[in-house]
Amino acid sequence: MSWVERQADGYALVVSLEPSGAARLLADPGITLEPQPAPRVSWSTDRLYLDYPAKAYFDSAPVLRLPFKGDAASVTAKVEYAYCLVDYQCLFGETTVEAELPRGG
């Protein structure tokens, strides 16, 4: 899931990953959120990581917040993650999320 939240100095793209069924998200290597270029958008960083190398899996749905400034209608980001169906069967996943900015600026 993804959405945009207002912040005091701009906005944040918020991405929450919740695995389906019995799949579990790996805490190491974790999750990478890479914002995609957009006109009239200035991202605070070119990549955001969330990981817990001391743990095998995320205990709950991880949430990443990527701040930005701008007035585009929507923003997009590439999300890379790893998940396991069972302990010995793990895969890498990638998806692109898009979220609209709140109306009214």
pLDDT tens per residue, range 4-48: 999 999 999 999 999 888 899 999 889 999 999 999 999 999 999
How far apart CA 77 and CA 96 sit, in angstroms, is 6
Q: Quick one: pLDDT band at residue 105, thresholds 50, 70, 90?
A: low
Q: Above pLDDT 70, what percent of the chain?
A: 98
Q: How many helices (H) and strands (E) does the chain have?
A: 0, 9
Amino acid 21: pLDDT: 85
How far apart CA 63 and CA 18 sit, in angstroms, is 9
Q: Are 101 and 93 in contact (CB under 8 A)?
A: no
Q: What pTM did the predictor assign?
A: 0.90
Two tokens at 99?
Answer: 């979220």
Q: Does domain 2-100 have CATH number 2.60.40?
A: yes
